[in-house]
Every structure is written in structure tokens, then in C-alpha cells.
Structure 1
Amino acid sequence: MTARMTQLDPKVRDAMVAFGAAAKKGLGDPVLAELVMIRASQINECAFCLDMHVDVAVEKNGESAKRIALLNAWREAGELYSARERAALALTEAVTVLTEGFVPDEVYGLAAKHFSEAELAHLIGVITVINSWNRLMVSRRIEPGGPGW
């Protein structure tokens, strides 16, 4: 596989970085933010983002290898993930896949039970920005550890 487009325009990169930082800060839960970013990256098959966010989750935020390994099967993992995390992961999948063309009311409603309006706005921001990064990296064919910026 050959990488395409070695660098992003600095204006695009800086805007994406700022958007992601603001969304994560407003969410206030770095572990949850990383779980959401890993789950979206799994769905989008973005190896670059998976590599980066698994490292951040484990090394910086102390997330367990078990929870990372079972994230792809979070619905079947019982109480390994909190109700709040499960609501965020369901919303992540709904926003990432959009197979019905919209986020189902029941998925949004469940998330709204666990997050304030401000937190929900930031959670959707985190989901949106990681999906954007995934699409940028996959379209550029950036491999794990490659020149992402």
C-alpha cells in the first residue's frame, strides 16, 4: 500500500486538531473519549487512528487491555462498560454508520439520559471529529505510525 498525499494543509490540520481538543475538553472524560474514538475507528477500519488511540487509552489514560480488546463486542460484554459508556458507544455507532440516514430517536434518547445537553454536544463533536480523521487517514492510506499530520 502506498501512502497518498503526505501532508494535510496546515489550516485543515489545525482546525481539526482544535475541534477535537475542544470536543474532548468539553466532554470531560478522557477515557470515554478514547473509547468512542477507538470504536468509530474500528467501524471505519482506520488502522492509523486505532493505533494512535489505543496507545493513548492504555498509556496515557490507564485503560485496560481487556476493555480495549472487547470494545468491538461491547453489547455482549455485560457490565464491563458502564451504562453511560454503552450509551455513548451506541451513539457512536449510530452517528458513524448512518445506515438509516439518521440517528434513531431511541439511541439519541438513551444518550440524553446519561449526558447533559452540553456533554452530549461535546460527545457528538468527538464522534464527528474522529469520523473526519478516519476518512482523511483512510483516503490517504496512512498506515499505523505513519506521517498523519
Structure 2
Amino acid sequence: MTDRVHTHRMKFWGPQRAFYEAQRRLTMAAKKGLGDPVLSELVVLRASQLNRCAFCIDMHVTNLREAGVAQRRIDLLAAWEEAGALYSERERAALALTEAVTLLTEGFVPDAVYDRAAAHFDEGELAHLIAVIVAINNWNRVNVTIRQPPGVEL
């Protein structure tokens, strides 16, 4: 492991303001149909943890705290599978799908993971959940590439 400082590479979001606005609208549309803002924030925080996006992790931890989510639920999100009843079955299904879509370790989303989510979300909600996962992965990929610092306005 090297000791290197990750410095901000470029100001992507200023020159790409139209892309930023489109991405913001995409994210808002995805979240709107999911209904549960805490669930949405847990999903985007988990994807951001997997993608190692410090900017997004910082933002979504702050959002969860402001929403009154217990610090323990935020702290243990990275180990949600081992955290027992700290997360509902619905949240656990959403988090499993988040990991499968974000990592695509097998090159696809396994049927068991998809079916688990489909058992907890109707088709419209499931479509919005998938859209939320796709949207945060897009934000993460840009912010990780440009090394967007936490707490710095886009």
C-alpha cells in the first residue's frame, strides 16, 4: 500500500453543468418513486462505500444523521448482513441488490438477489430502486475519477 495523497484532479462539475443538472434530475426522479427517503439514503451510502467515494459517503452520512437515523445503523451499514435486525428485511433486500448491481462480480445480478428484492418491492418501486442504484453509481464514478473532495460544493 502506498502513502499517496489523493488530490482533486479537476473541476468537472462546473464545465459540465448541463450534465450535473441532468444527473441531479435523474437522481430526484429515481428517488421520488421509491417513497422511503431513509431507504434511498441507505442504498446510496452503501453503493458509495463500495465505490470508495469519499465525497458521496460524507454527504449521505450527513443526510442520514439529519433524517434522525440512529448512528449505530449508519456505522454498521458496511456490515449490514451481520447486523441482524438492525435493518428491516426490506432494507436488507435493497442493500443486497445495491451490492449486486454496484459490484457485478459475476457479470450479472443473480436471480436470488433480484427475486429477494422483488418480494419486498412492487414493480414500480423496484424500478425506482434500480434507478437509484444506477444513479448513485454514476455520481460515484465521476467523483472518484476526479477525486472530488468531501465537503466541497460541486
Q: What is the Cα deviation at residue 76 of structure 1?
A: 0.5
**Mapped contact 2:48–2:56 kept (Cα < 8 A):** yes
Query: Which residue of 2 is the match for residue 138 of structure 1?
Result: 144
TM-score, length basis structure 1 = 0.96
- Structure 2 CA distance for aligned equivalents of residues 107 and 82 of structure 1: 16
Alignment of 1:104-143 (within 5 A): 104-143=110-149
1:22 aligns with 2:29: yes
- Offset at 1:96? 0.2
CA deviation after TM superposition for structure 1 residue 10, in Å: 1.2
The corresponding residue for 1:91 is: 97
Q: Aligned residues: percent identity?
A: 61
* 8 A Cα contact 2:12 2:146, kept in partner: no
RMSD: 0.8
Pairing of 1:49-60 with structure 2 (within 5 A): 49-59=56-66
- Equivalent position SS for 2:119: helix
Which of the two has greater helix per residue? 1
Shift of 1:5: 2.0
**Residue number in structure 1 paired with 2:88:** 82
Aligned residues: 147
Shift of 1:64: 1.0
Q: Does 1:4 align with 2:9?
A: yes
SS in 1 for 2:33: helix
Q: Equivalent of 1:103, from 100, 105, 109?
A: 109
TM-score (norm 2): 0.93
Matched residue SS, 1:27: coil
Distance 1:101 1:33 in 2: 24
User: Which runs of 5 or more residues in structure 2 are unaligned?
Assistant: 1-5
CA shift for structure 1 position 146? 1.9
